[in-house]
């Protein structure tokens, strides 16, 4: 059909070209016309041939079906014949082995000789060896059968792998392809059906080694018999000696045959292990292909107008096809056994129900201790949650017991009901726990401090959502166990669509409330928003026919909801534990202060309980590390839930967006940029953005702040780390999109030349910023003077540095100025600076007294350094004064102005 369509398109193009109807085309030469006419005739012939083939398609399909049936029957006949031949060979081998064993057990000695204790002992050893030989032969026969079975599986898997690729190429995007894929998925061999041969091979090697040791001991029969006769001289004569020699010879023959059988077993076990490994490799590859294709192929018809019109009749046919059968002859005994197996579960459920009153009373006791500085503890909340978990267990155990009984009733849907009961038990355990935590005066109210009105609202919403999730649970089990039943399941498709619509309607108000809450954490907002959008996306998939994909994603989505609920409980428990710890520490300190007052003679009664300390007063560093660990745990669990579906996205590598030329090993090759590459580039850019936003700050808080580094060093490290993340992220994103490094470097060179003139100053400042960060002539907090500006460095950026001058004004100076101009850093290595105080005295003054007064004022000042010592110099004859300079040194830059002021006042 596709070939006829393509040929028709080409024929139409040739006709248009011959008729000259194509606009802008030049006239055809005679040779071109002849060539196109020949192509036209060839295409017409091909279309006629395809049409005739299409007319005979039914007959051809019937013939191929009969050929397939014949080949299948012939293959089954040959396999059966091979099985019979192998059984005959095994029977013959076992007969010979038993004959050899019988000869070993009954040698032609007289009964008198056989009654000899020494001979009797050795005959028993031979009898044990003969039994081992029979067992080894039987094990070898079993290994042979397993080898044949695994080889057949391997051949079928290889054939299926070849066929499935052809079927995907021919039937891409059709419902028939999905049916074929589901059938192939059901026939894949399971790893549970294959025996692990590693331990068996090791045991065979060890057993063969022991047999060889025994054979070596029997190499010299006379020496071995003589060693046996030592200590038995009264019981040994020539007849006994000859009988022992005959027994030893027979044992050597038994050991030879046993060693041969073990060698055959070892060879077959190794071959079986190799075939199993190859089978599992092929099955894994085939399963990966099937999983990818099934996920991206629509399993049902789209829910369009035709689907709606055919819905009543299709639903009627579906109900007619539903049949539940039960084998009552086998069911009743099995039900009794299952009831006995489920009886412990029912007893445990009854015991918990019997002790519910005591559990509730103990939980109320824990709740009454909350807020009490004497009785409250970090363990109270986990204990209360554990009690709620135990209270939710009886229903879970009853569900499992009922599922176990249904499993043994020999129903045609027993496996389905058992799997559903397991999922339903987990579902009730999680939502039942959440429901009990949110109950009136429950853990959420008494321990977490949530408003009772809010918990009641959340409880009602959770009950509604949980009821809407039940049908999705059931059909997701159907998708796992029997995906073929989904293809004509209009009831499930309609029910899942409306259930998802109901869930979206129920979840959206919760999402809106979270966005309105200004105190909501960003991660919490993102999680709730994503969980709210997923039902809408699943509705679209269901409506477009991707019913199987919807159910697979729905199962993972529900498990993610479980994870979010459990993680929130754990998160609230940890926060309350930190708050309790902070309150107890504060109470102990207050109590210690009161006791000190009592010791000093102050009168006072029992210290009253202090009010609850706010969460903001908890140690922020501990809270930050705890949150980091919590999010890491969430990420690990999230990956564990979704990891098995990550492989389906490799299907995107088959969707090519564009091509680019590359060089590998000196040869030019053409590579593809696929949808998977684009998705990887988007994810890489998001990861890089998240790292740029969070990693430097997190590194500074967790690592750099503990290293006691000099001021500004941590900022330089985090800034350089930002540049590295940007560079690596850009190279990764561009590389995945086909822009390799060799092209990027030419692009960088072109930009350097083209923009070097127009953006020379910007590039100069950029390079100067890197020099400042590496050489660190200035750091954040340094006091500098550059040109006419003086102040403290407050920011160092990629283009400019900000200085806050002494008037508290921010001055932005390009980085290039710090490299090319004269820079004074008053606090780079030594903060000691010199002060010069100039003053003049009248002519005729006592110069020595002036010198002593100035030195005395300097040496007695506490901020003036004694080394180097202050100095006084008579510098010049002024117009009306004799000019002097007092030169002294101070340790800190901030002491300069104050020292000058105080010395002037003292002088």
Count of positions (residues) in the chain:
907
User: Among candidates 906, 835, 900, 898, which has minimal Cα distance to 872?
Assistant: 835
Tell whether the model's pLDDT for residue 371 goes beyond 60.
Answer: yes
User: Among candidates 781, 903, 900, which has minimal Cα distance to 831?
Assistant: 781
Tell whether the model's pLDDT for residue 16 goes beyond 80.
Answer: no
**Region 833-906: CATH code:** 3.30.70.100
Question: Who wins on pLDDT, 813 or 702?
Answer: 813
Tell whether the model's pLDDT for residue 114 goes beyond 70.
Answer: no
Q: Mean of the pLDDT values across residues 652-666?
A: 70
Q: Is the distance from CB of 538 to CB of 557 less than 8 angstroms? A: yes
Please report which confidence band the pLDDT of residue 607 belongs to, taking 50, 70 and 90 as the band edges. Answer: very low
Tell whether the model's pLDDT for residue 632 goes beyond 70.
Answer: yes
- Measured CA to CA, the distance from residue 247 to residue 118 in angstroms comes to 11
User: Among candidates 577, 575, 565, which has minimal Cα distance to 433?
Assistant: 565
Domain extents for the chain?
2-49, 64-297, 315-359+375-641, 665-825, 833-906
Q: How far is CA 345 from CA 331, 352, 433, 759, in A?
A: 21, 11, 19, 78
Beginning with the edge strand found earlier in the chain, give each strand of the sheet holding 833-842 in spatial order: 833-842, 881-890, 871-877
User: Among candidates 444, 445, 404, which has minimal Cα distance to 422?
Assistant: 404
Angle at 503 between CA 498 and CA 508, to 5 degrees: 130
Q: Provide the 10 A C-beta neighbour count for residue 751.
A: 12
pLDDT tens for each residue of 781-805: 778 888 778 888 887 776 788 888 8
Q: Provide the 10 A C-beta neighbour count for residue 251.
A: 22
- Measured CA to CA, the distance from residue 733 to residue 721 in angstroms comes to 18
- pLDDT of amino acid 101: 46
**Arithmetic mean of pLDDT over the chain:** 75
- pLDDT of amino acid 379: 81
The percent of residues in the chain predicted with pLDDT above 90, rounded, is: 0
Residue 873 is encoded by which pair of tokens?
């110099």
36-44 LR contacts (CB < 8 Å, sep 24+): 39/10, 39/14, 40/11, 40/14, 40/15, 43/7, 43/10, 43/11, 43/14, 44/11
- pLDDT of amino acid 32: 76
Q: Is the distance from CB of 459 to CB of 447 less than 8 angstroms? A: no
SS3 1: coil
Q: Using N-to-C axis directions, what is the helix angle for 117-170 and 57-105, rounded to 10°?
A: 170
The percent of residues in the chain predicted with pLDDT above 70, rounded, is: 68
SS3 82: helix
Question: Who wins on pLDDT, 297 or 467?
Answer: 467
Q: Provide the 10 A C-beta neighbour count for residue 114.
A: 14
Q: How far is CA 93 from CA 129, 172, 257, 726, 890, in A?
A: 16, 53, 11, 73, 107
pLDDT tens for each residue of 454-491: 888 888 888 888 888 888 888 888 887 777 777 778 88
Please report which confidence band the pLDDT of residue 647 belongs to, taking 50, 70 and 90 as the band edges. Answer: low
- Measured CA to CA, the distance from residue 391 to residue 380 in angstroms comes to 17
Q: Provide the 10 A C-beta neighbour count for residue 286.
A: 21
Strand partners of residue 835: 888
- pLDDT of amino acid 603: 46
SS3 812: strand
User: Among candidates 448, 494, 554, which has minimal Cα distance to 315?
Assistant: 494
Q: Is the distance from CB of 70 to CB of 27 less than 8 angstroms? A: no
- Measured CA to CA, the distance from residue 72 to residue 75 in angstroms comes to 5
Lowest mean pLDDT among 124-128, 237-241, 336-340, 611-615: 611-615
Pair type for strands 667-674 and 656-664: antiparallel
Q: Using N-to-C axis directions, what is the helix angle for 117-170 and 221-229, rounded to 10°?
A: 130
Q: Is the distance from CB of 622 to CB of 580 less than 8 angstroms? A: no
Lowest mean pLDDT among 165-174, 286-295, 669-678, 726-735: 165-174
pLDDT tens for each residue of 57-96: 666 666 766 776 677 677 667 766 766 675 666 566 556 6
Tell whether the model's pLDDT for residue 536 goes beyond 70.
Answer: yes
How far, in whole angstroms, is CA 357 from its chain's centroid? 42
- pLDDT of amino acid 109: 45
pLDDT tens for each residue of 404-431: 877 777 666 777 888 888 889 999 998 8
Please report which confidence band the pLDDT of residue 615 belongs to, taking 50, 70 and 90 as the band edges. Answer: very low
Q: Is 549 exposed, middle or buried (0-12, 13-18, 19+ CB in 10 A)?
A: buried
pLDDT tens for each residue of 747-783: 666 656 655 555 566 666 667 776 776 667 777 777 8
- pLDDT of amino acid 216: 79
SS3 838: strand
Residues 6+ apart with CB under 8 A from 115: none
Q: Mean of the pLDDT values across residues 158-178?
A: 64
Angle at 767 between CA 762 and CA 769, to 5 degrees: 90
Tell whether the model's pLDDT for residue 330 goes beyond 70.
Answer: no
- pLDDT of amino acid 212: 83
The one-character DSSP state at 610 is P
- pLDDT of amino acid 391: 87
- pLDDT of amino acid 82: 64
CB burial string 779-815: b at 16+ within 10 A, e below: bbebbbebeeeebbbeebeebbbbbeeeeeeebebbb
Tell whether the model's pLDDT for residue 171 goes beyond 60.
Answer: no
Tell whether the model's pLDDT for residue 602 goes beyond 70.
Answer: no
- pLDDT of amino acid 801: 83
Angle at 581 between CA 578 and CA 586, to 5 degrees: 125
SS3 content of the chain, % helix, strand, coil (to 5): 75, 10, 20
- Measured CA to CA, the distance from residue 593 to residue 79 in angstroms comes to 91
376-384 LR contacts (CB < 8 Å, sep 24+): 376/580, 376/583, 376/584, 377/580, 378/576, 378/577, 378/580, 378/581, 380/447, 381/443, 381/447, 381/448, 381/573, 381/576, 381/577, 382/573, 384/443, 384/446, 384/447
Tell whether the model's pLDDT for residue 104 goes beyond 50.
Answer: no
pLDDT tens for each residue of 193-222: 566 778 888 888 888 888 888 777 777 766
Q: How far is CA 192 from CA 65, 133, 339, 478, in A?
A: 33, 29, 27, 21
- pLDDT of amino acid 609: 44
Residue with tokens 């499935």: 164
Angle at 516 between CA 515 and CA 517, to 5 degrees: 90
- pLDDT of amino acid 616: 47
Rg (CA), the chain: 45
Q: Is 325 exposed, middle or buried (0-12, 13-18, 19+ CB in 10 A)?
A: exposed
Q: Mean of the pLDDT values across residues 19-32?
A: 65
Whether omega before 399 lies within 30 degrees of 0, making that bond cis, reads no
User: Among candidates 119, 204, 231, which has minimal Cα distance to 127?
Assistant: 119
Tell whether the model's pLDDT for residue 234 goes beyond 80.
Answer: no
Question: Who wins on pLDDT, 446 or 186?
Answer: 446
Q: Which of 264-278, 406-420, 659-673, 725-739 has the highest mean pLDDT?
A: 264-278
Strand partners of residue 790: 785
- pLDDT of amino acid 747: 60
pLDDT tens for each residue of 547-568: 888 888 888 888 888 888 888 8
User: Among candidates 277, 287, 276, which has minimal Cα distance to 187?
Assistant: 287
Tell whether the model's pLDDT for residue 821 goes beyond 50.
Answer: yes
- Measured CA to CA, the distance from residue 53 to residue 623 in angstroms comes to 74
DSSP string, 11-56: HHHHHHHHHT-STTPPPPPHHHHHHHHHHHHHHHHHHHHHHHHHHT
Angle at 193 between CA 189 and CA 195, to 5 degrees: 125
- Measured CA to CA, the distance from residue 538 to residue 468 in angstroms comes to 14
Q: How far is CA 774 from CA 296, 344, 697, 719, 829, in A?
A: 52, 71, 19, 11, 16
Residues 6+ apart with CB under 8 A from 187: 156, 160
Residue 881, sorted as left (phi over 0), alpha (psi -120 to 50) or beta, turns out to be beta
- Measured CA to CA, the distance from residue 161 to residue 375 in angstroms comes to 67
- pLDDT of amino acid 504: 86
- pLDDT of amino acid 605: 44
């Amino acid at each position: 059909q596709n070939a006829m369509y393509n040929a028709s398109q080409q024929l139409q193009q040739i006709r248009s070209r011959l008729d000259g109807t194509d606009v802008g085309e030049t006239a055809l030469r005679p040779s071109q016309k002849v060539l196109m006419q020949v192509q036209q005739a060839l295409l017409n012939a091909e279309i006629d041939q395809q049409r005739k083939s299409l007319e005979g398609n039914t007959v051809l399909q019937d013939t191929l079906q009969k050929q397939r049936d014949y080949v299948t029957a012939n293959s089954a006949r040959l396999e059966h014949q091979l099985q019979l031949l192998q059984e005959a060979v095994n029977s013959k081998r076992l007969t010979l082995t038993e004959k050899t064993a019988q000869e070993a057990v009954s040698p032609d000695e007289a009964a008198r000789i056989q009654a000899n204790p020494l001979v009797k002992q050795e005959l028993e050893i031979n009898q044990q060896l003969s039994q081992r030989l029979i067992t080894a032969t039987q094990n070898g026969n079993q290994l042979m059968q397993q080898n044949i079975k695994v080889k057949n599986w391997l051949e079928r898997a290889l054939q299926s792998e070849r066929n499935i690729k052809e079927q995907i190429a021919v039937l891409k995007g059709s419902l028939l392809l999905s049916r074929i894929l589901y059938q192939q998925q059901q026939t894949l061999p399971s790893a549970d059906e294959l025996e692990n041969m590693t331990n068996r091979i090791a045991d065979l090697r060890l057993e063969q080694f022991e047999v060889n040791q025994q054979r070596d001991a029997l190499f010299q029969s006379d020496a071995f018999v003589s060693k046996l006769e030592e200590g038995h001289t009264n019981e040994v004569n020539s007849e006994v000696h000859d009988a022992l020699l005959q027994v030893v010879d027979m044992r050597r023959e038994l050991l030879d045959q046993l060693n041969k059988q073990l060698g055959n077993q070892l060879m077959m076990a190794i071959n079986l292990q190799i075939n199993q490994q190859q089978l599992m490799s092929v099955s894994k590859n085939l399963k990966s292909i099937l999983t990818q294709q099934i996920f991206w192929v629509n399993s049902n018809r789209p829910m369009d107008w035709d689907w709606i019109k055919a819905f009543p009749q299709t639903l009627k046919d579906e109900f007619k096809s539903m049949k539940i059968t039960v084998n009552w002859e086998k069911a009743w005994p099995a039900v009794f056994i299952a009831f006995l197996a489920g009886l412990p579960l029912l007893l445990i459920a009854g015991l918990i129900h019997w002790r519910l009153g005591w559990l509730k009373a103990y939980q109320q006791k824990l709740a009454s201790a909350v807020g009490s500085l004497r009785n409250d503890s970090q363990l109270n909340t986990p204990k209360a949650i554990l009690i709620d978990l135990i209270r939710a267990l009886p229903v879970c155990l009853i569900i499992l017991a009922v599922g176990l009984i249904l499993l043994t009733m020999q129903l045609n849907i027993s496996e389905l009901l058992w799997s559903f009961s397991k999922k339903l038990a987990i579902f009730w355990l999680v939502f039942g726990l959440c429901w009990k935590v949110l109950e009136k005066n429950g853990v959420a109210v008494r321990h977490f401090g949530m408003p009772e009105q809010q918990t009641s609202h959340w409880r009602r919403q959770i009950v509604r959502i949980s009821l809407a999730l039940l049908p999705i649970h059931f059909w997701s089990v159907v998708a796992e166990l029997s995906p073929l039943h989904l293809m004509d399941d209009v009831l499930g498709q309609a029910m899942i669509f409306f259930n998802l619509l109901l869930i979206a309607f129920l979840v959206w108000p919760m999402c809106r409330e979270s966005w309105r809450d200004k105190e909501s954490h960003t991660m919490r907002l993102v999680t709730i928003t994503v969980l709210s959008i997923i039902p809408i996306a699943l509705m679209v998939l269901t409506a477009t026919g991707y019913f199987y994909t919807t159910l697979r994603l729905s199962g993972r989505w529900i498990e993610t909801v479980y994870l979010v609920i459990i993680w929130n409980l754990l998160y609230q428990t940890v926060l309350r534990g930190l708050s309790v710890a902070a309150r107890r520490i504060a109470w102990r300190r207050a109590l210690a202060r009161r006791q000190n007052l009592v010791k000093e003679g102050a009168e006072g009664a029992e210290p009253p309980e202090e009010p609850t300390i706010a969460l903001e007063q908890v140690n922020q560093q501990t809270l930050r590390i705890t949150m980091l660990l919590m999010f890491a745990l969430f990420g690990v669990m999230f990956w564990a839930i979704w990891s098995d579906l990550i492989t389906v996205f490799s299907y995107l590598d088959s969707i090519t967006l564009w091509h680019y030329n590359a060089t590998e090993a000196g040869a030019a090759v053409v590579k593809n940029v696929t949808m998977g590459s684009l998705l990887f580039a988007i994810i890489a850019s998001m990861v890089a953005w998240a790292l740029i936003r969070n990693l430097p700050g997190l590194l500074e808080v967790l690592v750099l702040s503990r290293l006691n580094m000099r001021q500004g060093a941590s900022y330089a490290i985090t800034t350089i780390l930002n540049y590295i993340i940007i560079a690596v992220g850009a190279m990764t994103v561009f590389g995945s999109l086909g822009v390799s490094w060799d092209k990027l470097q030419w692009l960088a060179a072109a930009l350097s030349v083209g923009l070097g003139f127009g953006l020379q100053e910007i590039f100069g400042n950029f390079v100067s910023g890197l020099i400042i960060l590496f050489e660190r002539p200035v750091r954040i907090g340094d006091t500098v003077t550059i040109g006419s500006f003086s102040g403290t460095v407050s920011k160092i950026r990629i283009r400019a540095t900000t200085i806050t001058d002494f008037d508290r004004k921010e001055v932005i100076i390009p980085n290039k100025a710090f490299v090319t101009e004269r820079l004074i850093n008053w606090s780079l290595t030594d903060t000691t600076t010199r002060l010069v105080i100039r003053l003049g005295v009248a002519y005729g003054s006592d110069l020595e007294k002036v010198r002593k007064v100035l030195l005395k004022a300097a040496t007695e000042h506490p901020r003036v350094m004694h080394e180097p010592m202050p100095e006084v110099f008579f510098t010049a004859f002024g117009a009306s004064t004799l000019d002097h300079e007092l030169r002294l040194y101070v340790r800190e830059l901030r002491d300069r102005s104050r020292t000058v002021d105080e010395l002037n006042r003292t002088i």
